[in-house]
Amino acid sequence: TFKSNCLLLSDLVACAKQSAAIFRPSQRKKDTKMLNGIYSTNFAGSVTAGSGVVIIDGGRIMGGDSSFVYRGKHRPDEKNGITAVIDVEKHNDTLLSIFGDQKDFRLNLNGVVAADGKSLTLSGQVEGKPHLMIVMKLTKLSDLIDEEK
């Protein structure tokens, strides 16, 4: 499981290694539709940690928390993992970001999908600021509503 002590920058590298050991990618590339769903997310950054909700629909990622909106895209990578680019935009000035006084920024992420397809672990950094690192764990809560039914 993703340890709750993955909340400080000093813990990010250890947590990323732990996550890579737990979430071994399957032998085949993940079907993008298999990832579709509603996820809870817990993340740790350079200053603090946070949580939110994410929807994955096709190659799109959408979500947010009490201060930020997340929008981006993902795709399978050549290593049976996942690559994502997520734009994060502040909508509420009450709280700082997990990187301190960052308002709007882009995350470049890479990660792995659990073999059962029910969770993802991603790590990366703020574009243009490699010292601002993040580790995220997404846990599937529900499938999306099938419009055909």
The stretches of 1-149 forming alpha helices (DSSP H) are: 9-22, 32-35
Helix (H, G, I), strand (E, B) or coil at 67: coil
Q: What is the pLDDT of residues 114-132, one digit of tens each?
A: 888 899 999 999 999 999 9
pTM of the model as a whole: 0.78
Q: How far is CA 101 from CA 32, 85, 122, 139, in A?
A: 34, 21, 22, 27
- pLDDT band (50, 70, 90) for residue 78: confident
